[in-house]
Amino acid sequence: DSGVTQTPKHLITATGQRVTLRCSPRSGDLSVYWYQQSLDQGLQFLIQYYNGEERAKGNILERFSAQQFPDLHSELNLSSLELGDSALYFCASSVGPTGQPQHFGDGTRLSIL
């Protein structure tokens, strides 16, 4: 158990819809990272928050947004969903802004029909 909690585990929705994925980091970790893993691909970094502030952005689409709340949990919002957004979405956390290693949740599997 990594201590990182992601909900929901599975999400099935239709094109054009909007969903919110939730992540609670390990106790004491201030950084939260979001990743997307499409079929048979490596993890693609989307965005990082550190102590409530956006710290780094990767290949995150404009249709996607995230935030980190005062209690340090984070949400990833995906809107105007397309078939290609079907993927595993992982959240990870670390102690500091550049802390390694990152500890991962078990992911949310998003399926767009």
Partner 1 sequence: DQQVKQNSPSLSVQEGRISILNCDYTNSMFDYFLWYKKYPAEGPTFLISISSIKDKNEDGRFTVFLNKSAKHLSLHIVPSQPGDSAVYFCAASAKDSNYQLIWGAGTKLIIKP
Pairwise CA distance, residues 35 & 91, whole Å? 6
Q: Which residues bind partner 1 (CB under 8 A)?
A: 2, 4, 6, 40-45, 48, 55-56, 58, 90, 92, 97-98, 100-107
The phi and psi torsions of 54 (rounded to 5 degrees) equal -65, 130
Q: In the complex, what is the shortest distance from the CB of residue 35 to partner 1, in angstroms, rounded to a whole number?
A: 8
Nearest residue (CB) to partner 1, 48 versus 72: 48
Q: In the complex, what is the shortest distance from the CB of residue 103 to partner 1, in angstroms, rounded to a whole number?
A: 7
Q: What is the DSSP string of 34-53?
A: EEEE-TT--PEEEEEEETTE
Furthest-apart CA atoms within the chain: distance in Å: 38
Nearest residue (CB) to partner 1, 11 versus 43: 43
Q: In the complex, what is the shortest distance from the CB of residue 16 to partner 1, in angstroms, rounded to a whole number?
A: 28
Q: In the complex, what is the shortest distance from the CB of residue 15 to partner 1, in angstroms, rounded to a whole number?
A: 26
| Residue whose pair of structure tokens reads 């970094």 in the numeric block | 45
